[in-house]
Amino acid sequence: MNTADPTMNTAEEHVARMLRSGTDAGQAGQLARLRARLADHAAAAGFLDVAYRTLDTALGPLLLAATPRGLVRIAYACQDHDAVLAQLAGRISPRVLRAPARLDAAARQIGEYLAGQRASFDLPVDLRLARGYRRTVLTYLPAIGYGRTASYAAVAAATGNPKAVRAAGTACATNPLPLVIPCHRVIRSDGTLGAYAGGTEAKRTLLDLEAAGHTAG
Amino acid sequence: MRLPPFEQVVADHGAVVLRVCRAVAGPHDAEDAWSETFLAAFAAYPRLRPGSNIRGWLVTIAHRKAIDRVRAAGRAPLPTDPVPEPLVPCGQPADPDTALWAAVAALPDKQRAAVAYHYVADLPYAEVAALIGGSEAAARRAAADGIASLRTTLTGQEARP
Task: Compare A151 and B67 and report the one with higher pLDDT.
Answer: A151
Which DSSP symbol is given to A100?
Answer: G
Å between B129 CA and nearest CA of chain A: 16
Å between A114 CA and nearest CA of chain B: 28
| Upper half-sphere CA count for residue A181 (Cβ side, 13 Å) | 27
Which residues in A58-119 belong to E strands, given as ranges?
60-66, 71-76, 96-98
**Which residues does B contribute to its contact with A (CB < 8 Å)?**
2-8, 10, 14-15, 18-19, 23, 31, 34-35, 38-39, 42-43, 45-46, 95-97, 100, 104, 115, 118-120, 122, 144, 147-148, 150-151, 154-155, 157, 160
The residues, any chain, with a CB within 8 Å of residue B47's CB and separated by 6 or more, are none
Dist CA A95 CA B145 (whole Å): 40
Å between B39 CA and nearest CA of chain A: 6
Residue A109 phi/psi, 5-degree rounding, is -70, -35
Å between A213 CA and nearest CA of chain B: 39
pLDDT class of A214 with cuts at 50, 70, 90: low
Question: What is the per-residue pLDDT across B22-62, written as a single tens digit (0 to 9) for each?
Answer: 999 888 889 999 999 999 999 999 999 999 999 999 999 99
Q: Tell me which chain A residue has its CA closest to the CA of residue B31.
A: A34
User: Average pLDDT in the B122-145 region?
Assistant: 96
- B5·A94 Cβ contact <8 A: yes
Alpha helices in chain B (DSSP H): 6-25, 30-44, 54-73, 96-105, 109-114, 125-132, 136-155
Å between A9 CA and nearest CA of chain B: 9
Quick one: pLDDT at residue B95?
61
Residues of B in contact with A95 (CB under 8 A): 6, 42, 45-46
Residue B17 phi/psi, 5-degree rounding, is -70, -35
pLDDT class of B70 with cuts at 50, 70, 90: confident
One-letter amino acid identity for A191? G
- A20·B119 Cβ contact <8 A: yes
Q: Tell me which chain B residue has its CA closest to the CA of residue A20.
A: B120
A76 has which bridge partners?
A: A62
A73 has which bridge partners?
A: A65
SS3 state at A71: strand
Dist CA B36 CA B32 (whole Å): 6
User: Average pLDDT in the A182-188 region?
Assistant: 96
Among the listed residues A137, A183, A187, A197, the single catalytic one is: A183
User: By the 8 A CB rule, do A42 and A48 touch?
Assistant: yes
Residue A70, phi-psi category: left (phi > 0), alpha (psi -120 to 50), beta (remainder): left
- Give the nearest partner residue to A19 out of B14, B46, B120, using CB atoms: B120
Quick one: pLDDT at residue B89?
47
pLDDT at A84 over 60: yes
- B39·A31 Cβ contact <8 A: no
User: Average pLDDT in the A64-70 region?
Assistant: 97
Buried (b) or exposed (e) across A152-172, using 16+ Cβ within 10 A?
bbbbbbbbeeeebbebbbebb
- A96·B5 Cβ contact <8 A: yes
The residues, any chain, with a CB within 8 Å of residue B5's CB and separated by 6 or more, are A50, A85, A86, A88, A89, A94, A96, A97
- A23·B97 Cβ contact <8 A: yes
- A19·B7 Cβ contact <8 A: no
- A2·B151 Cβ contact <8 A: no
pLDDT at B157 over 80: no
Mutate to test the interface with B, among A5, A12, A15, A63 (most CBs of B within 10 A): A15
User: By the 8 A CB rule, do A147 and A173 touch?
Assistant: no
Which has the minimum average pLDDT: A131-140, B65-74, B78-87?
B78-87
pLDDT class of B87 with cuts at 50, 70, 90: very low
Quick one: pLDDT at residue B94?
55
Active site (annotated) includes residue A172: no
Quick one: pLDDT at residue A217?
44
How far is residue A86 from each of residues A2, A5, A64, B3, measured CA to CA in Å? 31, 39, 14, 8
pLDDT class of A215 with cuts at 50, 70, 90: low
Question: What is the per-residue pLDDT across A109-136, written as a single tens digit (0 to 9) for each?
Answer: 999 999 999 999 999 999 999 999 999 9
pLDDT at B93 over 60: no
Quick one: pLDDT at residue A110?
98
Burial of B77 (0-12, 13-18, 19+ CB in 10 A): exposed
pTM above 0.80, yes or no: yes
- Give the nearest partner residue to B95 out of A15, A26, A45, using CB atoms: A26
Residues of B in contact with A24 (CB under 8 A): 95-97
How far is residue B11 from each of residues A197, B112, B122, measured CA to CA in Å? 28, 25, 17
pLDDT at B159 over 80: no
Dist CA A169 CA B52 (whole Å): 40
One-letter amino acid identity for A20? R
User: By the 8 A CB rule, do B115 and B107 touch?
Assistant: yes
- B118·A27 Cβ contact <8 A: no
User: Mean pLDDT over all residues of chain B?
Assistant: 86
Quick one: pLDDT at residue A187?
95
Q: Tell me which chain B residue has its CA closest to the CA of residue A9.
A: B160
